[in-house]
Amino acid sequence: MMLEEILSKGGCVLDVYRSLTYMMIAPVERTFEWDPDKSNTNQLNRGLPFDLAVLLFERPTLEQPDIRFDYSEDRTVAIGMIGQTVLVCVYTDKVGARRIISLRPANRRERDVYCAAFQN
């Protein structure tokens, strides 16, 4: 599946003005990093290279700790939007950088949760 197909499927209209009233905006300069081989594999399998995840964090996200397994690091699951498409990114914050671990289209439940949080 290509990026254009993914971005044309499933999503919601984000009410930015309402969303921003619930967020504290502070300028944060972030550096992102990822494994290039894993990003290439993700692009082949899902049509989503990890550099797209940078765009995900330019808009409001819903985030929670990833406690599915006992990882050797603290991981966070972020649900956000790029264009009109809701995506899920798993990342870990390292000293000086946010490391992208995975990026995929949100499932129906994740889309519903995200859209409910930010729509009127």
- Alpha helices by DSSP H, listed for the chain, are 3-8, 16-21, 36-46, 53-56, 108-118
Res 50: pLDDT: 97
Distance, in Å, from the CA atom of 40 to the CA atom of 62, rounded to the nearest integer, reads 26
CATH 3.10.450.530 fits 3-118, yes or no: yes
Predicted local confidence at residue 19, as pLDDT: 41
Q: How many CA atoms lie within 13 A of 70 on its CB side?
A: 0
Residue 56 DSSP label: H
How does pLDDT run across 74-85, given as a tens digit for each residue?
999 999 999 999
Predicted model pTM: 0.76
Residue 32, both tokens: 């992102």
Domain ranges of the chain: 3-118
Q: Per DSSP, what are the bridge partners of residue 33?
A: 99
What are 36-74's pLDDT values in tens digits? 999 999 999 999 999 999 999 988 888 888 878 888 889
Give the model's pLDDT for residue 55: 93
